[in-house]
Amino acid sequence: MDHKPKSQAAQPESQSRDRSADLFELYAEDPIRADEIVFGRVPESDRRGFLRGAGLATMGALLGATIPFHRNMPAGLIPEALAAKDIKIEGKDGLTVYNDRPVNAETPAHLLNDDVTPTARHFIRNNGAVPANMDAASWKLTIDGLVDKPMTLSIADLKKNFQVVSEKLVIECGGNGRAFFDPPASGNQWTVGAVGCAEWTGVRLADVLRAAGVKKNVVYTAHVGADTHLSGKAGMLPISRGVPIDKAINPHNLIAFGMNGGPLHAQNGAPLRLVVPGWPGSCSQKWLTRVYLRDKVHDGPKMTGTAYRVPRYPVAPGQKVPTKDFEIIHAMPVKSLITSPATRGTLQGRDMNVRGHAWAGDNLVAEVNLSIDFGTTWIPAKLTRPDNPYAWQHFSADIKFPQAGYYEIWARATDDQGRSQPFEIAWNPKGYLNNSMHRISVRVA
């Protein structure tokens, strides 16, 4: 893969959508260089970088209008009118792009209909800037901290010394569903598509930790990736999370170098990442360079305060909660997604096949039921067993509508602990864990 900045992004005369796509890619790959191109060469001390000169002309040409308040535009900001759905991320298809810096993009539900999520349709959640170097041949992973034998391994070493396995594993952002909270919770306004189930190939984290020798007093892992902080400050990590050691040694956690039979997508952590399924996606460190073991709960960026944490007790919508009353999110709750048909369609006839996927954190999904009458009666769907633990289970049902009109189809999964998806979940300050039922609508002609 070529990760060098695309030089054509520097040519202001091009005014097409492609031009904005190049810009977008450039921001994802090399934000400093992109700033130089778009905003002109801005000294480090003055990186507020309002548009000027050639940069201003370029942006104006792209937008087809002048920007009266251009002096207020923060450095690196791609105008909302460009950073929209139709922005193309190389190797991705149909994602709804919310942010360009960092890149955040979710997959519309109907594009998640495949049993295994294609690489091109796996969502992206970045907290920092994608590393400049993603070279697999020279990549190194260090395992250290409270281990008997600290190790530094290449990807070739991982393949040679450990069993290579492939598993279909669900990664879901802890904030998936945030858009449905009222009052709104700050953060990416994910609807339902910050989730995917790709087939990942790699070695078991547990095998690697065992080889390093886990010391008796280990409590938690700490994960480090090569992505850089948006401030540009060297040594500042955008995110570093970990998991309790008993979760870390679950045999389904992978140190992955393969995605759907190919390499990892650059935005999904190439060339090496953790996949810790069933827990918030943030535990699955991308661009993985180091795992170290600690004798206390890890306190890296996005582990403390209100990040990936929820209040210990129910709170009223909008209530201020002291950070000491937050606890770290562990497993994700039971959830389902209707992936066919697409919402807001029209049905000719009365019969419809409805299908989708369900998953349940560390548990199995026991059943999925559908309703076409706003939850009054429920139709049991056929549900598959997962191909491996932590893989999506697929449901389908044939539905008959009694007459023409507007219908909603609701899906409700129940896990093997007897827990079901609610219609609406209790509000929490950062909008995590929203597993309320997925609804789609259809007009029956």
Ligand X SMILES: Nc1nc2c(c(=O)[nH]1)N[C@H]1C(S)=C(S)[C@@H](COP(=O)(O)O)O[C@H]1N2
Q: Which residues of the shown chain bind ligand X in the complex (CB under 6 A)?
A: 122-128, 171, 173, 225, 227, 238-239, 268-269, 281-282, 284-287
Place of tokens 């180091």: 290
Run of H or E residues at 367: strand 365-371
- Per CB under 5 A, the list member of 20, 127, 228, 282 interacting with Mo ion is 282
Closest approach of Mo ion to the CB of residue 26, in Å:
24
Contact predicate 241/303, CB 8 Å:
yes
- What backbone phi and psi angles, to 5 degrees, belong to 200? -105, 140
CB of 172 to ligand X, least distance (A): 7
d(CA 429, CA 282): 18
Cβ at position 369, least distance to ligand X in Å = 28
Instruction: Return the sign of the alpha-carbon dihedral for residues 152, 158, 163, 169.
Output: positive
- Provide the Cα torsion 239, 243, 248, 254; round to 10°: -30
Which C-beta is closer to ligand X: that of 128 or that of 177? 128
Residues of this chain, 79-138, that bind Mo ion according to CB under 5 A: 125
Pick what 284 binds: Mo ion, ligand X, none; C-beta below 5 to 8 Å, kind-dependent.
ligand X
Closest distance to Mo ion from the beta carbon of 226 (Å) = 18
Distance of CA 293 to the CA centre of its chain: 25
Residue with smaller CB distance to ligand X, 202 or 341 = 202
Q: Which is nearer to Mo ion, 9 or 173 (CB)?
A: 173
Q: Which does 394 bind (CB under 5 to 8 A by kind): Mo ion, ligand X, none?
A: none
Please report how close the Cβ of residue 370 comes to Mo ion at its closest, in angstroms.
28
Is 430 an interacting residue with respect to Mo ion (CB under 5 A)?
Answer: no
Is 173 among the residues that bind Mo ion (CB under 5 A)?
yes
Q: Measured from the CB atom, is 174 or 429 closer to ligand X?
A: 174
Which of 164, 358, 195, 199 lies closest to 281, judged by CA?
195
C-beta of 329: minimal distance to ligand X in Å? 11
| Amino acid (1-letter code) at residue 288 | L
Q: Rule CB under 5 A: choose which of 49, 128, 281, 311 binds Mo ion.
A: 281
Please check whether residue 27 is in contact with residue 17, taking contact to mean a CB–CB distance below 8 angstroms. Answer: no
Select from 147-155, 168-176, 196-204, 346-354 the region that touches Mo ion (CB under 5 A).
Answer: 168-176
| Structural contact between residues 282 and 133, judged by C-beta atoms closer than 8 angstroms | no
> Strand, helix or coil at 112?
helix
127 binds, among Mo ion, ligand X, none (CB under 5 to 8 A by kind): ligand X
Asked whether the beta carbons of 107 and 121 are under 8 A apart, the reply is yes
